Amino acid sequence: MAGDLAPSPILSDALVILGAAGIVIPVFTRFRITPVIGFILIGIAVGPFGLGKLVYEHPWLSYVTISDPEGLEPFASFGIILLLFTIGLELSFNRLWQMRRLVFGLGALELLIIGGSLAMALSMMGQYWTGALALGFALAFSSTAIVLPISGTTSPVGRAALSMLLFEDIMIVPIVFILGAMAPYAQADGLDGVVDTLWKGGLVVAALLIFGRIALPRLFAQAARTKSPELFLAASMLVVIGASLATAAVGLSPIVGALIAGLLIAETEYHGEVESIMEPFKGLALGIFLITVGMSIDLTTIWENLGKIALAVVGVLVFKSVVTGMLLRMMGARRSTAAETGTLMASPSETTLIVLAAASSAMLIQPGTAQFWQIVTAIGLTVTPMLAGLGRMIARRVEPIPEMPPEDPSTPHVIIIGAGRVGRLIAQMLDAHDKPYVALDSDADLIERAKRDGYRAVFGDAARGDALSRLGVERSPAVVLTMDEPILAQRLTTKLRKAYPDLLIVARARDSSHAAELYRAGVSHAVPETLESSLQLSEAVLVDIGVAMGPVIASIHEKRDHFRKKIERDGDMDYRPKLRTSNVDS
């Protein structure tokens, strides 16, 4: 009977993880500290090198420690898969294509230069060249799981980090295969295995893209008709797990499949619902991954080798931050962006642990060497949030970022999202009619130029945090979306319409089809650039060939109204809520 009352390892581990999430997230959020540090500290405490050492002396500690660390690894890996899936949801194929220069230019340079330089340094310190190569490229990776939740993907720092991390994710499989081919007892067909995996992987990726574009809209449309959140969740899990298994079956990383699944769903109108449903699972799974990182840190071993480990950690962090910052400056980034991104990308990655394990199993490095660098990696992951804060401090020193100016709470103002060409023109028109406004942009370059030219502009990311709330969006007469990112414009529209049903939202659209999508998302007015440029060209031609100005203007207005009504019909405008348009004229 006593054995029947023994705690189940699965239930006790679940208790620890859920308890950690329930304590860490609210406590660290209250003090404005990223929960990443809290989860890693919990992992240290409840792992085999923390309280786990005392379980035999005090059996009751089994309720607050992880009894099966290896059993958590699949859940931690799933957390990384869900993270890449949600990153894909935030992107689009058009945006990735626009980033190709950064991904295959900056990303390739960053990985090759840092990996090669670290390999040379380790070889000069006595490590055999094959092991030095493995260690160098392992340490060159940066943490997708920690960096992107901190930086986002829309700010200049986030875009630069994303481009490098995407290239690193692509290179995981070739690097692991090459390490296997360099093993002392490797098979002769090691290179053939790489080629075989790459062409099979290419076929699988192509099949996923074709099948996804055809099947996913129908799948999620059917799930939406049922109005069942459970079915929507099941469909989302089916897609991400299926895509991950498909790429893993041919030797590619499962995170490649997860990213593709996210990109495909991002092209559908159901991406917002999928993102909101998956968010809690991603956060919990990522917390499990961070706990496993903490469990790998042995404080006793660190204390015994404190000098060597500290030197290794500082050396890797400083070298990676300097090289990454210099590469960003060479690619045209501002000093502030280069400094912040370089510092944020300085720590090793969860992928480093994978490459170290591959190098150790291929006998390229000794087990003791692998354990040493695993500890260095775990410490680097732990301090990444602090590196993010340090990077922001350095960025403000080397090139001050414009601070948000004080506001008059009694004066509602139009919020212009985007301080580029279109945003500036709207600001000029509002200023000409004595209407207060503020422009918001996540590009420090645009903000600094706008402020220098006399515009009221502030730095912030409308897609993240409480930037719009700080600007008083709840009392704003209108929000104007001017960014040239269709997916982001649709998401912001959906978010704003859900939070503020009566808010006037006016958006820039690329063309008529994009305008219809914005109307479906809840925008009040969408203005297609192609339509307006065509009307202006028509006006110029008619006036210059001798047609009277009055009839020309009347016909232009008539044609504009005709197209607007057609776009509104295409966008199913029957459901549009009654808008607070009277505020604009007040």
| pLDDT tens digits, one per residue of 34-90 | 676 777 778 888 877 777 776 666 676 666 777 667 777 777 777 778 877 877 776
For 439-492, the pLDDT digits (tens) are: 888 876 677 777 767 788 887 788 765 778 878 888 888 898 888 777 788 888
DSSP assignment string, 508-521:
EESSHHHHHHHHHH
**In this predicted model, which residue has the larger pLDDT, 222 or 11?**
222
Residue 271, CA atoms < 13 Å, CB-side half-sphere? 25
> Rg of the Cα trace of the chain?
27
Residue in this structure with the two tokens 């991104």, named with its chain if needed: 341
State the Cα–Cα distance between residues 542 and 560, nearest whole angstrom.
16
Percent of the chain predicted with pLDDT > 70? 78
> Do 55 and 61 form a contact (C-beta atoms < 8 A)?
yes
Residues 414-440: what's their mean pLDDT? Answer: 85
Lowest mean pLDDT among 90-99, 225-234, 266-275, 292-301: 90-99
Backbone torsions φ then ψ of 441, nearest 5 degrees: -150, 150
Beta strand 479-481 with 457-459 is unpaired
> Do 153 and 331 form a contact (C-beta atoms < 8 A)?
no
Could you give all domains of the chain from N- to C-terminal order, each with its CATH number? Answer: 68-398 (1.20.1530.20), 414-585 (3.40.50.720)
pLDDT of 214 reads 85
State the Cα–Cα distance between residues 88 and 469, nearest whole angstrom.
26
**In this predicted model, which residue has the larger pLDDT, 270 or 32?**
270
pLDDT of 318 reads 94
Q: Determine the angle formed by the axes of helices 271-295 and 144-151, rounding to 10 degrees.
A: 130
State the Cα–Cα distance between residues 132 and 139, nearest whole angstrom.
11
CB-based contacts of 432, cutoff 8 Å, min separation 6: none
Q: Give the number of other Cβ atoms within 10 Å of residue 262's Cβ.
A: 26
| pLDDT at 563 > cutoff 70 | no
pLDDT of 301 reads 80
Beta strands in 189-319 (DSSP E): none
State the Cα–Cα distance between residues 388 and 66, nearest whole angstrom.
29
User: How far is CA 101 from its chain centroid?
Assistant: 18
pLDDT of 186 reads 46
State the Cα–Cα distance between residues 522 and 490, nearest whole angstrom.
9
**In this predicted model, which residue has the larger pLDDT, 383 or 409?**
383
State the Cα–Cα distance between residues 488 and 481, nearest whole angstrom.
10
pLDDT of 447 reads 78
Give the H or E element holding residue 425. Answer: helix 421-432
Give the H or E element holding residue 528. Answer: strand 525-528
